[in-house]
Amino acid sequence: AQSVTQPDIHITVSEGASLELRCNYSYGATPYLFWYVQSPGQGLQLLLKYFSGDTLVQGIKGFEAEFKRSQSSFNLRKPSVHWSDAAEYFCAVGAGGNKLVFGAGTILRVKS
């Protein structure tokens, strides 16, 4: 069965510093991978997604993610974090049909 692991429950970075959020997945075939963000009091919003092709995917708000099949990873990165990036981030993998399996989430705190 498909599964997603986000090893970091909380991460704190300084404003202006770089960010990397880790995601590892378990899936037999080529995965469909997603990163969603949930700002406080809001629903989830798609940041980016990967299906095939170029393994470095660009998303909204200056985020990017890199698919590494050998490591079963799809880590999210941003070169310079802004205070408004404080939120919870979810990695997800397509699970057949239209279903997604989500990781437990990583809460990002940004300190000024």
- The residues binding other proteins (CB under 8 A) are 4, 6, 9, 32, 36, 41-46, 49, 51, 90, 94-100, 102-105
Q: Which is nearer to other proteins, 65 or 94 (CB)?
A: 94
Q: Which is nearer to other proteins, 8 or 15 (CB)?
A: 8
Q: Least distance (Å) from other proteins to the CB of residue 74?
A: 15
* Burial class of 97 by CB neighbour count within 10 A (0 to 12, 13 to 18, 19+): exposed
Q: Least distance (Å) from other proteins to the CB of residue 4?
A: 8
Q: Which is nearer to other proteins, 51 or 83 (CB)?
A: 51
Q: Least distance (Å) from other proteins to the CB of residue 59?
A: 12
- Tell me the C-alpha distance between 52 and 105, whole Å: 24
Q: Which is nearer to other proteins, 15 or 72 (CB)?
A: 72
71 phi, psi to nearest 5 deg: -105, 0
Q: Least distance (Å) from other proteins to the CB of residue 80?
A: 26
- The DSSP symbol for 31 reads P
> Radius of gyration over alpha carbons of the chain, in Å?
13
Which of 82, 103, 79 lies closest to 91 in space, CA to CA? 103
